[in-house]
Structures are given as C-alpha cells and as structure tokens.
Amino acid sequence: MRRLYTALLRLALPALLLRLWWRGRREPGYRSFVAERLGRYATPRSEKLVWVHAVSVGEARAAAPLVHMLRRALPDHAVLMTCTTAAGRQMLKQVYGESVLIAYLPYDFPRTVQRFLEHFRPRLGVLMETEVWPNLLSACSANGVPVVLANARMSEKSARGYARWPSLTRPAFASLAAVCAQSAADAERLRALGATTVQVTGNLKFDVEPDPRQLEHGQAWRAALARPVLLLASTREGEEKLLLGQVPPTDNVLVVVVPRHPQRFDEVAALAESRRTHSPAPAPQDRVHLGDTMGEMAFYFAASDVAVVGGSFVPLGGQNLIEALAAGAPVVIGPSIFNFAEATRLALEAGAAIQVADARSAVKEALSLLANPQKRAAMSEAGKRLCAAHRGATARHLAACLKVLDSKNVVRP
C-alpha cells in the first residue's frame, strides 16, 4: 500500500509545485526554499541535533515551551524546527529567532525524506499534533531516528479516515517511539490506530504564557478607546461576513477582526474602516478594525471585552481558544470544535466559555456579555484558573522525550 501511496504522490508532484507557485502570489514565502521541499538543504547541520516539526502557526506557538525545555535539558544539541507553510516559517522566525535552525519539511517521498535525514542526522524527532507521514516515519525507523508524536490529538473524524487505510497507516503509528496525547479520548483513538507507547500528557497550549507586555499594551489600547470591543479572533474564510452581518449598525461597539491566515488580510480589509498596520488607533466613527499583524494575539485578546473564536462557524474544527482564556478574555465559540474538543469541554465546564449554534447566536451572546461586566469578570477569572490548573504538560512531554533518548543509548550531558 505504501508503494501505491508513493506512486500517487509522485503523480501529484507537478500539481504540488504549481500550488506553491500559485500560493506564492499572495505569500511570497511559498516561492522560497523550494529545494528544501525536495530534500535539498543548504542549512548547516550540527553534530548533535533534535528535530521538532510544527506544521504551521498554531503548532509553532504551541511547541515553544517544549523547545525551550529541550534546549535547557540538552545544551549540547542544536534544535531544528521544520514547518510546511510560509506563515509557519515566518512564525518560527518570530518566536525562536536565531536560537534554532529552520527549514521546510520535505514532501513525503522516500528519497526526499532520506536526503533530509542524511543531511541533518537528528537524534530525536518530535512531530506536533497529527503529522503522521508514512514514508517519513518508515525512513526514521530505518535510520534509527526515534520519533515522538507530541501534543497528539485525534478526532473521531480523523480516526475514521486513518482507519480506512490500515495497511498504510498502522505501520506508521506503530513505528512511533512514544505518543503524548492531549486527552484520554485522543489516547484511546491513537491506540486503536496502532500506536503502542501512548500516555496522556495534557495540552502544551496551556503552558504557553501570554506576553505580559502585549497584555499591558492591549489593556491600555482598550482603555484609550473608551468603548466596548468585540474581537472576532482567528476567523476563517466566510466567517467575517457571517458574524459582521449580525452586529447592529447602531451599537457603539468596535469590532476587531483578526483573520487566521495573513494572506487574507487584504481581502478582509474591504470589510473594515481601518487596519492596525495603517491606523493603530481607530477613529471614533470606525465600526470594524482589522488586526493585520502577526504574533500579537495576546494584545488582541487583552484589548477585547469579549472574544468570538473563529474556525468554529464553518466545519473546520475551531481555532485555539486557550490563548484567549490565558489572557482573560471571555470566549464565545461556535458548533465546530473538533480540533479543540477537550479544551472546549473544559472551558465550558469551568464557565469560561459559551458555545452557540450559529453566527447570529454568537453575536447576540457577545453583545449580552458586553452589557454584563459582572459575568465577563467571572468568565475571565474562570479562564485564567483553568489555564493555571492544566499547566505542566511540557514537563511530562520532556520526560517522555528524554526517556526515548535514553532508551536509544543516546548519551546526554
């Protein structure tokens, strides 16, 4: 089955390269370092190296606590961070600077992944969340590179998809040296798919602390406005119109929209009167302000009175609500939350979030919260307590990674 998978992937290669060129119209980063996607690297290699793969922006942020702990625990090892998207590469540079090596993960062809492993020779691989690639994991096994699946999640829908191709996917899951699952339900589904060494370690995203300077600036920004602020956070295509269409034009509410993907900033700008990169302080008559900066989510959450978290009003599984909870923002979220099912369940039970059925209900609930400062304050404190109670996943992940290294007879300092 893996041979058929590889053959089909090879047939798709022209389309994959064309897609890079096409996406590069709006995100030039897709047209850079194309050779890396084919397993050819100019990045210098280190004698001792740990490799962490964070596919895009969310994973790059979530990996930060673990990467910092790995660097402290293994001071004589370099850290290689790989990603798949141009936005992810930009975020890696922003979060880690020059402290790590950065490259694109190659396409999942046997030769490209072999060149990748031969160039960098990692002693340990850490794949974030759901990055299970059959040829990559087979090559890691053949080259003696143990791989940990970190912050692992597996929705029922994804599990059914993997289960349709057991001869392809079961060997991949079985080859993992360790799996650190976000929840017991994730762990159960991962075991059913073939993973063996599985433990529940919690969600790394609870360990990502918001930047205190951004929190301070966001609170000052909101105070200077002297009007209620409703944040539409990490919105996906189509959600902005759905949600903005429900906000009454007579309300003295400033709606701040922060799209999930930077390539959509110009598109969404057509719905706004101002944008942060052009007008950091919106005019008093502005109804919609576009948040078109990267790496400032803590600022936006601190600047808001209520946050409606996107990706949940279209069938995409939701976006990260933990960032909002950590910053003390009351959260309203839609029906599609399979990517953050456990975190949403915890937030709802704690009284830190409210789930609604559609965009109309979301705006209605958010406007009700804007008129109820006591309830907002209670939700804010509940969110902060929830995040504090669920911290510690990073230490458990680190222990799992070091145990794998020890079991492979890798000498640590």
Please, where are the H alpha helices in 97-232?
110-120, 134-142, 156-163, 166-174, 184-192, 212-225
Q: Is 212-389 in the same CATH topology as 12-202+392-407?
A: yes
Tell me how far apart the alpha carbons of residues 175 and 296 are, in angstroms, rounded to a whole number: 38
Q: Please give the C-alpha separations between residue 48 and each of 61, 73, 198, 246, 396, in angstroms, as whole numbers.
A: 24, 13, 26, 55, 23
**Residue 410: predicted pLDDT:** 46
**Does the domain at residues 12-202+392-407 carry the CATH identifier 3.40.50.11720?**
yes
**Residue 409: predicted pLDDT:** 56
pLDDT in tens, 206-230: 999 999 999 999 999 999 999 999 9
pLDDT in tens, 242-286: 999 999 987 789 999 999 988 899 999 999 999 999 999 899 999
* Bridge partners, 82 (sequence order): 53, 103
Q: Kindly report the number of other CB atoms within 10 A of residue 357's CB atom.
A: 10
Residue located via tokens 């008559």: 285
Residue located via tokens 């090879």: 10
Report helix angle 134-142 to 166-174, nearest 10. Answer: 40
Tell me how far apart the alpha carbons of residues 319 and 309 are, in angstroms, rounded to a whole number: 7
Say if residue 411's pLDDT is above 50. Answer: no
Kindly write down the DSSP assignment for every residue of 360-392, as one continuous string. HHHHHHHHHHHT-HHHHHHHHHHHHHHHHHT--
Q: Please give the C-alpha separations between residue 271 and each of 264, 267, 312, 314, 412, in angstroms, as whole numbers.
A: 12, 8, 20, 19, 54
Among 167, 29, 148, 172, which Cα is nearest to 401's? 148
What percentage of the chain reaches a pLDDT higher than 90? Answer: 88
Kindly write down the DSSP assignment for every residue of 258-303, as one continuous string. EESSGGGHHHHHTT-SEETTT-SS--TT-SEEE---SS-HHHHHHT
**Residue 43: predicted pLDDT:** 83
Clarify whether 59 is annotated catalytic. yes
More confident residue, 366 or 294: 366
pLDDT in tens, 1-55: 889 999 999 999 999 999 999 999 888 999 999 999 999 999 888 889 999 999 9
What is the domain partition of the chain in residue ranges?
Answer: 12-202+392-407, 212-389
20, 89 contact by CB (below 8 A): no
Average pLDDT estimate for 81-108:
94
Which CATH class for the 212-389 domain? alpha beta
pLDDT in tens, 133-158: 999 999 999 999 999 999 999 999 89
Q: For residue 157, what is the DSSP state?
A: H
- Terminal-residue alpha carbon distance, the chain: 42
Average pLDDT estimate for 164-182:
96
Confidence grade of residue 412 (pLDDT, cut at 50, 70, 90): very low
Among 331, 333, 318, which Cα is nearest to 155's? 318
The CA radius of gyration of the chain, in Å to the nearest whole number, is 22
User: In the structure encoding, which two tokens stand for residue 92, read together?
Assistant: 């890696």
As a whole number, the mean pLDDT across the chain is: 94
* Residues in contact with 308: Cβ distance below 8 Å, sequence separation at least 6, in sequence order: 230, 231, 232, 233, 243, 331, 332, 333, 362, 363, 366
* Bridge partners, 50 (sequence order): 79, 124
Residue located via tokens 């690297």: 41
**Residue 130: predicted pLDDT:** 87
Say if residue 131's pLDDT is above 90. Answer: no
User: In the structure encoding, which two tokens stand for residue 392, read together?
Assistant: 């510690």
Report helix angle 2-23 to 134-142, nearest 10. Answer: 120
3-class secondary structure, 38: helix
Select which of 36, 59, 323, 342 is catalytic.
59
10 Å CB burial of residue 200 (0-12, 13-18, 19+) is: middle
